[in-house]
Amino acid sequence: MIKNSLRIIGLLIMALLLNLHGSKPAEAQPVVTSQYYCLMDSKSGQLLTGKNMHMPRPVASTTKMMTAILTMDYAGLNEIASVSPHADKTAEYTIGLRAGQTLPLHELMKAALICSANDAAVVLAEHVAGDEALFAHLMSCKAFLIGATSTHFVNASGLPADNHYSTAYDLAQIGRYALTYPTIKKAVGTAQAEFHHPAYQKPIIIRNTNGLLNTYKGAEGIKTGTTNAAGKCLVAAATRQGRQLIAVVLKSGDRQGDCWRLLDYGYTRFSYQKLINKDEPFKRIQVISGKDNYTDVYPDEDVWLWVGERVPDIEKEVIMQYNITAPALRGKNIGELNVYAQGKLVKTIDLVLKKPVERKHLGISKIYEHFFGQ
């Protein structure tokens, strides 16, 4: 069997693929005060729009998304944490924790994610890793692993610090990943909750800093952030008709309004269209020693993309065998197809056989020749 790898990169005119005719004017972009933003489809990771989305910036308390992720990965929510002198001295905003107090991690998670308490984030970090700096290093490593490759953390709270940064694109990746944890998703989607403060006998009410939860239809998080250096930041998520979008704005003059307009733009200006059909042959390849000389290769699943009035540039990268030796079973993997939209990978699918490939049956004379020669 000869195995060839071929990289095919071609810009496809989506209008032809989707049976659209004539040129379309570029759609009107949403009015956004931020100069650093992006809008992403949560399921596929497809970017719908953005500006300066890969430029590193201070990101303030949006950092706490990764603090929560790492806590979920390495600790149990019923574990009891102690407040250290270091956490006691955390700069505002805090929920007033004092050295020596103890409380369960699920309470600290609520405080960090709902009312953005910096001291709660530090207690979580120290409980998980024993040291906030080590925890921050683990945060950076985790960010890289989930695709946030332009992110570096030096603390768990997002308070101003040299070399602590991320990008709008990376925060969208972190946000969509954070929402896969039911505990995090529930917390960031809660407008207000009771917090059992160790200094008080009765619980206190904490309120979410994300105003979209009470105003935008389908809003379900995720995290605000504000410092002088970072400005007003927001990672917002909403789901409508089963479709979840992530909007990120950094250093915004109107973070709630910006995210509102970005989310509306995604829901009203894009339609879900099929780019690749799993029931249609994708490629024909040669069969060696087969009953048939050629067989068809199919995508293992459909590929869908969100398409607006302005057709995105689509690239396909194919890595596959261009001939096989019979016999071969139905479902045999022949290669893979990577689909890119606007330069970003949105889907990888297998290329497979939909029917078995039979070996050619030799006649008596051919068998004799095969074993004994002419």
CA distance 309 to 312: 9
Tokens of 8: 């095919």
What span, in angstroms and rounded, lies between the C-alpha atoms of 236 and 256?
Answer: 9
How far apart (Å, rounded) are the C-alpha atoms in residues 140 and 200? 35
Please list the active-site residues. 61, 64, 116
Tell me the CA end-to-end span of the chain in Å, nearest whole number: 26
d(CA 234, CA 252): 8
DSSP string, 190-235: -SEEEE--TT-SS-EEEE-S-GGGGTSTTEEEEEEEEETTTEEEEE
CB-neighbour burial class of residue 19 (10 A; exposed 0-12, middle 13-18, buried 19+)? exposed
134 phi, psi to nearest 5 deg: -65, -40
- Residue 372's contacts (CB-CB under 8 Å, 6 or more residues apart) are none
SS3 133: helix
- Cα–Cα distance list, 74 to 173, 192, 307 (Å): 20, 26, 39
Tokens 């039911």 appear where? Answer: 182
Query: Which two three-digit tokens encode residue 213?
Result: 């939860």
Contacts of 158 (CB under 8 A, 6+ apart): 59, 60, 61, 62, 63, 64, 118, 121, 164, 225, 227, 230
